[in-house]
Amino acid sequence: MRLDKFLSECGFGTRSEIKKLIRTDRVSVVGAKSKPTADMRIDENTAEVFVDGEPVTYKKYIYLMLNKPNGYLSATYDKDKAVVLDLVPPQYRHFDLFPVGRLDIDTVGLIVLTNDGALSHRLLSPRHHIPKTYYAEVSGKLGDSEVSAFAEGMDLGDFIAQPSEMTIVSSDDDKSAAEVTIYEGKFHQIKRMFEKTGHTVTYLKRTAMNRLSLDESLSEGELRELTDRELELLIYET
């Protein structure tokens, strides 16, 4: 890989800005037999590159866990509304990020941002049946009939929701809470399933995708990189 391309993909600016960095001797390459130039060829996986004395680590792909807040679209751009990429700090903006799947604008919780299209395809492909777990607060009292209805699958008119798992967290006459795991992700699916059983969702939060759980230490709107172990949990058996 060319040195200027390497630095560009690491977020050091435009090609012209990077050429200026190199020209003003702010870039060094350990073991290079000549002074660094923009077209110098390096191995991006093994080269030891420094900018202003600080080491540069090359990453082809990036994986971010975001605790999505209410009011943000799960999209890369919208001319009228805020999108999840608006929450990405500057050090990650040079990556061509996109959300893996979507959450409704008023749904909060776990969403993964990446530039890895192959991983996104694996996680979203219907044939893999990736579980997605949500915490829901709803109107009215939940009981065994709702648990059974979710477990049996549900005809929602335009599609038939596959069997899902519901665990009741609390149940009172006025409001209840439950944890729900689904294996698909149709538009407004969980809200529509509860509506089918006579309940209105008042709060919805995704807490897990596959075996990856939301880091509850992240405040809404905050994000961080996945650890290697968390990435393994995300792609487990896909």
Q: What are phi and psi of 30, to 5 degrees?
A: -60, 130
Helix (H) or strand (E) holding 165: strand 165-171
Element (H, E) at 65: strand 63-68
Whether 215 is catalytic is no
CATH class of 131-209: alpha beta
pLDDT digits (tens, 9 = 90+) for 79-128: 999 999 999 998 898 899 999 999 999 999 999 999 999 999 999 988 88
Provide the token pair at 195: 């509506």
Pick among 3.10.105.10, 3.30.420.40, 3.30.450.20, 3.10.290.10: CATH of 3-56: 3.10.290.10
Q: What confidence tens digit (pLDDT) does each residue in 181-224 have?
A: 999 988 899 999 999 999 999 999 999 999 999 999 999 999 99
Q: Which of 4, 43, 104, 172 is catalytic?
A: 104
pLDDT of the residue at 229: 97
Domain assignments of the chain as residue spans, ordered by start: 3-56, 63-126+212-234, 131-209
pLDDT band at 9 (very low <50, low <70, confident <90, very high): confident
pLDDT for position 238: 57
pLDDT for position 77 = 96
So what's the architecture of 63-126+212-234 in CATH? 2-Layer Sandwich (3.30)
